[in-house]
């Protein structure tokens, strides 16, 4: 497929649609193997099966391995002088048992270190196109990291990061992507189109700003001006979808409203069932980068859906 020609207000920043892989060949699950990780684990297995991808399970152990040692019943060794299994070996065995029936190829990696860096480095080493983790706010989950593991990954991982909140009932069917029309948001849109091509509803959500001069008008002129702004914003969204995706792609609709992304995503989720919210972690400018980073962190704290944060795709 080729990129549609476009002469609208957006820069010619879009790559060929076919440049984005239809699916990752490997995905990484960052887990501590506790019950708090069950939802992320279930989603990782579902996506690995859906994409027919290899699943890499990364477990980070504390530097104090004795504190990280799991409780497990151990049979007496035949040799009374045989060394007890190491904490790493016990975690490897536990993880392999947990994922024995995953139905996909599984590699288990246990490393000593902070969870975020361990997950990011393991994903890069194994060629994983996605990192999946839970979004628990429990102190126990983050005990090995001075901040949030998920926040660290959202800032530093070189691949998209999926924060799982919901129970897994089916593949993702209702997806909302918040876009500021930046290059990174365009990358997120194309990636989402390829990864979740079977979703029944895919919505592009864009918020625009109302000029103060418009708000200062009298009732009738203000209403007319607001209507014009809304129509212009809808046309921009239509042009943007046509320039970013192939013209033949009819799977996306737009929801265009005035306001900021966090509030709009909350309102949209209340009005429209959503399985997955997608956001790029960067924007058009250095200031927008900071704002988008702040938005991503606020969404990590408040969003009730699963959240996919797409990191910039730099060459």
Q: Within a 10 A sphere around the Cβ of 271, how many other Cβ atoms? A: 9
Same-domain pairing of 197 and 257: yes
- Whether residues 196 and 104 share a domain: the answer is no
Domain shared by 203 and 146, yes or no: no
Q: Find out whether 288 and 165 touch, Cβ atoms under 8 Å.
A: no
Distance CA 53, CA 200 (A): 22
Same domain membership, residue 174 and residue 116: no
Q: Quick one: 178 and 292 in the same domain? A: yes
For residue 88, the model assigns a pLDDT of 85
**What does the chain look like in DSSP terms, one character per residue?**
--PPP--SSS-S-PPPGGGS-SS-SEEEEE--SSGGGHHHHHHHHHHHHHHT-EEEEEEEEPSSHHHHPPP---PPPSSTTSPPPPHHHHHHHHHHHHTTTSSS-EEEEEEES-HHHHHHHHHHHTT-S-EEEE----TTTTTTSSS-HHHHHHHH-SS-EEEE-S---SS--EEEEE--S-HHHHHHHHHHHHHTTT-SEEEEEEEEPPPHHHHTS-HHHHHHHHHHHHHHHHHHHHHHHHHHS-TT---EEEEEEES-HHHHHHHHHHHS--SEEEEES--SSHHHHHHHHHHHHHHHHH--SEEEEEPP---
3-state SS string over 142-206?
CCCCCCCHHHHHHHHCCCCEEEECCCCCCCCCEEEEECCCCHHHHHHHHHHHHHCCCCCEEEEEE
Q: What is the CATH number of the domain that holds 102?
A: 3.40.50.620
In a domain, 15, yes or no: no
Choosing from 105, 133, 164, the residue where a domain stops is 164
Residues 138 and 182 in one domain: no
- Check residue 266 and give its pLDDT: 78
- Output the pLDDT for position 298: 65
Residue 209 lies in a domain: yes
Reported as a single tens digit per residue, the pLDDT across 60-81 is 987 665 554 445 455 554 555 6
Looking at residue 27, what is its pLDDT? 97
> What local confidence, expressed as pLDDT, does residue 21 receive?
64
Residues 110 and 208 in one domain: no
* Residue finishing a domain among 100, 132, 164: 164
Nearest one of 176, 201, 163, 170 to 277, comparing CA atoms: 176
Of 147, 164, 181, which residue is a domain's last? 164
Residue 5 within any structural domain of the chain: no
Task: Please tell me whether residues 106 and 155 are part of one structural domain.
Answer: yes
Asked whether residue 264 falls in the same domain as residue 138, the answer is no
Looking at residue 36, what is its pLDDT? 84
Is 12 among the domain residues? no
128 part of a folded domain: yes
Residues of the chain with pLDDT under 70: 1-21, 63-84, 136-147, 247-250, 282-302, 313-315
Residue at 210 is within a domain: yes
Residue 138 covered by a domain: yes
> Are 158 and 190 contained in the same domain?
no
Is residue 6 included in any domain, yes or no?
no
My answer on whether 68 and 195 are in the same domain is no
Q: Could you tell me if 45 and 145 lie in one domain?
A: yes
In which domain, by residue range, is 47 found?
26-75+85-164
Provide the number of structural domains found in the chain. 2
């Amino acid at each position: 497929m080729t990129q549609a020609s476009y002469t609208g207000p957006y820069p010619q920043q879009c790559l060929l649609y076919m440049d984005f892989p239809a699916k990752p060949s490997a995905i990484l699950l960052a887990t501590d193997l506790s019950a708090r990780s069950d939802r992320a684990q279930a989603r990782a297995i579902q996506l690995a099966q859906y994409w027919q991808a290899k699943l890499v399970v990364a477990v980070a152990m504390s530097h104090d391995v004795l504190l990280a040692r799991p409780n497990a019943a151990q049979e007496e060794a035949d040799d009374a002088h045989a060394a007890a299994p190491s904490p790493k070996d016990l975690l490897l065995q536990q993880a392999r048992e947990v994922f024995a029936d995953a139905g996909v190829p599984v590699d288990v990696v246990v490393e000593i270190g902070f969870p975020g860096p361990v997950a990011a480095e393991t994903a890069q080493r194994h060629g994983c196109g996605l990192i999946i983790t839970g979004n628990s706010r429990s102190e126990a989950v983050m005990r090995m990291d001075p901040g949030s593991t998920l926040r660290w990954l959202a800032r530093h991982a070189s691949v998209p990061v999926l924060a799982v909140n919901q129970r897994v009932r089916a593949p993702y069917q209702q997806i909302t992507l918040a876009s500021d029309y930046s290059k990174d948001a365009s990358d997120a849109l194309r990636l989402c189109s390829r990864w979740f091509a079977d979703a029944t509803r895919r919505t592009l959500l864009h918020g625009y700003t109302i000029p103060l001069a418009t708000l200062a008008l009298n009732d009738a002129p203000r209403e007319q001006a607001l209507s014009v702004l809304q129509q212009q914003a809808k046309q921009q969204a239509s042009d943007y979808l046509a320039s970013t995706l192939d013209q033949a792609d009819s799977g996306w609709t737009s929801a265009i409203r005035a306001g900021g992304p966090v509030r709009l995503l909350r309102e949209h989720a209340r009005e429209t069932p959503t399985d997955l919210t997608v956001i790029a972690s960067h924007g058009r400018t250095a200031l927008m980068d900071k704002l988008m980073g702040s938005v991503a962190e606020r969404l990590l704290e408040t969003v009730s859906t699963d959240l996919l944060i797409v990191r910039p795709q730099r060459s």
